[in-house]
């Protein structure tokens, strides 16, 4: 028989040969093979790896393979892992791998065997399309290719594998095994092995397995291998960076521990305790503490050194020292006692209030003459929105002192002023100690806002706690409960604010110097609006003054119709509303400039809240003047006779007890002196009289309406109209004396607002009227009454 007759049958297809019955390793490759699918990634001819498959349904397949002489089967890659029990044979890829089985074993429902890859395999036809799957196969082999290109690719692959080895040590053993089994000159196993080394997706690896021609396969594998090298390099860099950071931290930790031990050995150890103590001692350097305080702090520092850092007592002591050493013991700021500078500051921040500015300048002048300002407690009293808080800031600025403000309104716990006892968890010093710590000098300006709104509860009475604080004789040795050390507050300038004096306890009020701020008249409000409020609102909205303006007439109309209260807070709100509504127009028409005139106000702000009040007139109707916490007001009082059936007297208008008594006194006085004032002596004997104070929804009380009520009753009894355009105030006694009243300035402002220029005031208030600024007295005709007869003379 010739050689040609012995040669296996060959099917040629391009550059691929499919020999049947090919001899490899002195064995003929079988023409029929059992098939098992694998799911993770394709198996390559150059690999030797363990394979695990489910016992069901592949146990029978493996038994049949083990009974064959060649012990081989075909592994095909199937993308979906859910095709374990069965798969569609038509969906298998073109090529799989012929593997020989070694060391098959069974454990826990799984079959395990070592698969040795031998060759690519291709299915020609199926003999069994259900487990165990059996197929007729043939074996594609690339035509031998030589040339520079193949060698170049071979070298590139080997270089890439060499680069990968140091980056990923996992591959080194596998590569050694491969080199032992294959010749490096054979490019086909080298290419397959290089593909098997990568972590490329299954589909890409299957493409490599399907590519039999040598050069094309190398072209596919080289990019995959290069990518693997890059990924491994990046991974290495990340690991190195992480290890470096961990190494640095460990090194730092070890060095610190070694330093501690070295310092301890040399006796220069400085643990956390020592560091704390040193910091507290450093804080006290340059401060002058009273001997008692110094002794106490030394004791606490010694105590700190013997306590364990983890004990609760250590934390309490450390906290105490933290507060005590942070205080500015003996540190005082230098006062700027320059009256010109002070006047400039006050004028810059406040329009009007000339008498208040003078009073503050007098107060500063005394300090300048003496060389220091100490032991002063100023109380600014006035309606809301007149600038009490900002005057406090101006005083601090004019003196060049730091300013600290806290509100005592609604404060119910005396510990807020004097601190908690140190034994309580979360104990803190009082607000005054906190203020000194923050301002870092012992002579700041401290403002206690809303002192008339202090509360009281079972936790104590803050008003009583303030007695020591605000007494220049006592606050030299102010004692805070937390510190339990004497503090000198005598150099602190306290500025308190209140709306009324009624709710401030007498002993507390007695310690303060009262400065009254009454409301602003329309001219002052206009100046404030132009100089301060309008520019502030424009800046707040970010509107350039060229694009939005308001006329003086419009400002006056806002003041008269929408913001008639004593202060300027409501006025500021209304101006803010005007700016907001104008900004809408500016956005809609970017080119337009808005000028607000008086006639436009109703479109912007709606109908005016305040109408020009009609001063009531007629027989038995008199205009009185009243003081309220919001400023002054006019108060008309009406008297009328209801019938003449019997004698009687009725009061209405939500009057308080004091006003009811004033009305009774006025009724008794006029009844008993009617003949003297030209009335019918028997008028009240048959008359049932009704006295009413309008605006029944508003509660009214106070001791200054007696004269007005008496005048209304006298006008009724004489049946005579009183003089027009006259307003009055004063308290009346049963003997006809007119007693002094308070709030003269506010009442004068209220009369001017109503265009009333003739006033009757008690003689005892002549001095108060004389002290008023000239612009308030201008154009007023004032009669001072000692007895009621003086009032009757002016009216009738």
Q: Give the tokens for residue 320.
A: 């105490």
Which of 11, 10, 9, 15 is closest to 212 using CA atoms?
15
Q: Give the tokens for residue 289.
A: 């503490």
Mean pLDDT, rounded, for 161-172: 74
Residue matched to tokens 């400065």: 515
Find out whether 145 and 157 touch, Cβ atoms under 8 Å: no
Burial class from Cβ neighbours inside 10 Å (0-12, 13-18, 19+) for residue 299 reads exposed
Mean pLDDT, rounded, for 303-332: 85
Q: Residue 603: pLDDT above 70?
A: yes
Q: Residue 417: pLDDT above 60?
A: yes
Percent of the chain with pLDDT over 70: 90
pLDDT of amino acid 26: 40
Instruction: Please tell me whether residue 99 adopts helix, strand or coil conformation.
Output: strand
pLDDT of amino acid 106: 87
Which of 658, 662, 636 is closest to 649 using CA atoms?
662
pLDDT of amino acid 768: 86
- Residue 653, sorted as left (phi over 0), alpha (psi -120 to 50) or beta, turns out to be left
Identify the band that residue 89 occupies on the pLDDT scale cut at 50, 70 and 90: confident
User: Where do the domains of the chain lie, and which CATH numbers do they carry?
Assistant: 32-138 (2.30.130.40), 272-326 (no CATH), 339-516 (3.40.50.300), 522-605 (1.10.8.60), 621-795 (3.30.230.10)
Which of 273, 277, 292, 291 is closest to 325 using CA atoms?
277
Q: Give the integer Cα–Cα distance in Å for 796 and 710.
A: 13
SS3 content of the chain, % helix, strand, coil (to 5): 45, 20, 35
pLDDT of amino acid 762: 93
Instruction: Please tell me whether residue 403 adopts helix, strand or coil conformation.
Output: strand
Q: Give the tokens for residue 401.
A: 């002192």
pLDDT of amino acid 97: 93
Percent of the chain with pLDDT over 90: 7
Q: How far is CA 305 from the centre of its chain?
A: 39
Find out whether 743 and 710 touch, Cβ atoms under 8 Å: no
Locate all alpha helices (DSSP H) within 350-487, ordered by sequence: 354-370, 388-399, 415-418, 431-439, 462-469
Max avg pLDDT among 144-148, 175-179, 549-553: 549-553
Q: Give the integer Cα–Cα distance in Å for 119 and 123.
A: 13
Mean pLDDT, rounded, for 680-686: 83
Q: Is pLDDT larger for residue 13 or for residue 120?
A: 120
Identify the band that residue 586 occupies on the pLDDT scale cut at 50, 70 and 90: confident
Instruction: Please tell me whether residue 785 adopts helix, strand or coil conformation.
Output: strand
Find out whether 325 and 353 touch, Cβ atoms under 8 Å: no
Q: Residue 720: pLDDT above 70?
A: yes
Max avg pLDDT among 158-167, 170-179, 244-253: 244-253
Mean pLDDT, rounded, for 767-790: 86
Which of 419, 490, 405, 496 is closest to 460 using CA atoms?
419
Q: Give the integer Cα–Cα distance in Å for 225 and 346.
A: 83
Q: Give the integer Cα–Cα distance in Å for 716 and 568.
A: 40
Handedness of CA 774, 776, 778, 784 (dihedral sign): negative
Instruction: Please tell me whether residue 444 adopts helix, strand or coil conformation.
Output: coil
pLDDT of amino acid 8: 46
Would residue 220 show up in a list of annotated catalytic residues for this protein? Answer: no
Identify the band that residue 98 occupies on the pLDDT scale cut at 50, 70 and 90: very high
Q: Residue 10: pLDDT above 60?
A: no
Residue matched to tokens 């308070």: 742
**Residue positions forming the annotated binding site for ATP:** 382-389
User: How many Å from the N-terminal Cα to the C-terminal Cα in the chain?
Assistant: 164
Which of 724, 710, 785 is closest to 758 using CA atoms?
724
**Residue positions forming the annotated binding site:** 382-389
Q: Residue 169: pLDDT above 80?
A: no
pLDDT of amino acid 246: 87
pLDDT in tens, 201-214: 888 888 888 888 88
Q: Give the integer Cα–Cα distance in Å for 566 and 498.
A: 15
Catalytic residue (choose from 671, 704, 711, 715): 704
pLDDT of amino acid 81: 63
- Lowest-confidence range among 259-273, 375-389, 536-550, 678-692? 259-273
Find out whether 218 and 154 touch, Cβ atoms under 8 Å: yes
Instruction: Verify cis geometry, omega within 30 degrees of 0, for the bond prior to 57.
Output: yes
Mean pLDDT of the chain: 82
Mean pLDDT, rounded, for 558-579: 85
Identify the band that residue 43 occupies on the pLDDT scale cut at 50, 70 and 90: very high
Bridge partners, 247 (sequence order): none
Would residue 582 show up in a list of annotated catalytic residues for this protein? Answer: no
pLDDT in tens, 482-509: 888 888 888 888 889 998 888 888 888 8
pLDDT of amino acid 18: 52
pLDDT of amino acid 27: 56
Q: Residue 280: pLDDT above 90?
A: no
Mean pLDDT, rounded, for 454-477: 78
Q: Residue 4: pLDDT above 50?
A: no
- Lowest-confidence range among 28-42, 80-94, 116-130, 228-242? 80-94
- Lowest-confidence range among 269-273, 401-405, 716-720? 269-273
pLDDT of amino acid 146: 72
The CA-based dihedral angle spanning residues 739, 745, 746, 750, taken in that order and rounded to the nearest 10 degrees? 100
């Amino acid at each position: 028989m010739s050689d040609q007759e012995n040669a296996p049958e060959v099917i040629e297809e391009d550059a691929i040969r499919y020999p049947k019955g090919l001899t490899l390793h002195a064995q003929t490759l079988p023409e029929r093979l059992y098939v098992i699918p694998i799911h993770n990634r394709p198996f390559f001819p150059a690999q030797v790896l363990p394979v695990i498959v489910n016992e069901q349904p592949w146990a029978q397949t493996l038994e049949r393979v083990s009974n064959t002489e060649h012990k081989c089967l075909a592994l095909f890659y199937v993308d979906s892992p859910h095709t374990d029990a069965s798969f569609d044979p038509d969906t298998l890829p073109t090529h799989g791998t012929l593997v020989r089985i070694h060391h098959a074993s069974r454990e826990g429902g799984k079959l395990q065997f070592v698969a040795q890859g031998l060759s690519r395999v291709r299915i020609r036809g199926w003999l069994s399309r259900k487990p165990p799957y059996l197929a007729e196969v043939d074996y594609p082999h690339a035509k031998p290719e030589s040339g520079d290109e193949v060698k170049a690719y071979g070298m590139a692959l080997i270089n890439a594998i060499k680069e990968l080895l140091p980056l990923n040590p996992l591959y080194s053993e596998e590569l050694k095994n491969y080199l032992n089994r294959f010749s490096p000159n054979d490019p086909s196993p080298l290419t397959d092995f290089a593909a098997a080394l990568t972590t490329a997706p299954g589909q890409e690896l299957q493409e490599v397995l399907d590519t039999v021609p040598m050069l094309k396969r190398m072209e596919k594998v080289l990019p995959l291998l290069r990518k693997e090298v890059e990924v491994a390099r990046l991974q290495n860099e990340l690991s190195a960076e992480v290890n470096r950071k961990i190494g640095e931290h460990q090194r730092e930790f070890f060095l610190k521990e070694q330093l501690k031990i070295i310092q301890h050995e040399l006796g220069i150890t400085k643990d956390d305790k020592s560091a704390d103590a040193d910091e507290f001692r450093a804080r006290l350097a340059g401060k002058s503490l009273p001997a008692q305080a110094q002794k106490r702090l030394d004791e606490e520092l010694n105590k700190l050194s013997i306590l364990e850092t983890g004990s609760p007592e250590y934390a309490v002591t450390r906290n105490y020292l933290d507060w005590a050493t942070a205080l500015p013991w003996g540190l005082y700021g230098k006062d700027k006692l320059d009256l010109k500078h002070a006047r400039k500051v006050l004028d810059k921040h406040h329009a009007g209030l000339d008498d208040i500015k003078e009073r503050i300048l007098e107060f500063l002048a005394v300090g300048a003459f003496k060389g220091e300002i100490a032991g002063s407690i100023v109380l600014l009293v006035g309606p809301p929105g007149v600038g009490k808080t900002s005057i406090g800031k101006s005083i601090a600025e004019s003196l060049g002192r730091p300013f600290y403000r806290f509100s005592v309104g609604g404060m119910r716990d005396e510990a807020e002023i004097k601190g908690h006892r140190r034994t309580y968890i979360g104990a803190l010093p009082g607000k005054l100690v906190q203020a000194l710590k923050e301002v870092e000098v012992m002579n700041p300006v401290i403002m206690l806002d809303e002192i008339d709104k202090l509360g009281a509860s079972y936790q104590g009475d803050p008003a009583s706690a303030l007695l020591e604080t605000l007494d220049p004789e006592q606050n030299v040795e102010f004692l805070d409960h937390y510190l339990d050390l004497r503090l000198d507050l005598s150099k602190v300038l306290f500025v308190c604010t209140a709306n009324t004096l009624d709710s401030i306890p007498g002993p507390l009020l007695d310690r303060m110097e009262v400065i009254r701020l009454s409301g602003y008249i329309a001219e002052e409000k206009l100046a404030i609006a132009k100089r301060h409020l309008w520019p502030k609102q424009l800046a707040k909205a970010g509107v350039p003054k060229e694009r939005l303006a308001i006329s003086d007439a419009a400002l006056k109309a806002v003041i008269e119709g929408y913001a008639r209260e004593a202060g300027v807070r409501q006025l500021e709100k209304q101006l803010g509303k005007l700016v907001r509504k104008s900004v809408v127009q500016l956005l809609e028409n970017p080119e337009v400039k808005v000028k607000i005139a008086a006639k436009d106000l109703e479109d912007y702000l709606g109908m005016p809240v305040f109408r020009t009040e009609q001063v009531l007139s007629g027989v038995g109707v008199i205009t009185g003047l009243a003081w309220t916490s919001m400023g002054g007001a006019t108060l008309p009082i009406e008297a009328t006779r209801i019938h003449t059936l019997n004698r009687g007297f009725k009061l209405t208008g939500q009057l308080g007890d004091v006003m009811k008594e004033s009305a009774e006194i006025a009724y008794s006085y006029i009844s008993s002196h009617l003949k003297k004032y030209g009335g019918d002596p028997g008028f009240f004997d048959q008359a049932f009289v009704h006295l009413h104070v309008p605006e029944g929804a508003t509660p009214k009380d106070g001791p200054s309406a007696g004269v007005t009520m008496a005048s209304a009753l006298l006008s009724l009894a004489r049946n005579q109209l009183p003089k027009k355009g006259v307003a009055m105030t004063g308290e009346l006694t049963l003997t006809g004396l007119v007693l002094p009243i308070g709030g003269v300035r506010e009442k004068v402002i209220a009369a001017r607002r109503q265009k009333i220029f003739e006033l009757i005031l008690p003689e005892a208030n002549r001095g108060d009227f004389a002290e008023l600024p000239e612009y308030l007295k201008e154009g007023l005709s004032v009669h001072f009454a000692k007895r009621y007869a003086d009032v009757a003379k002016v009216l009738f």
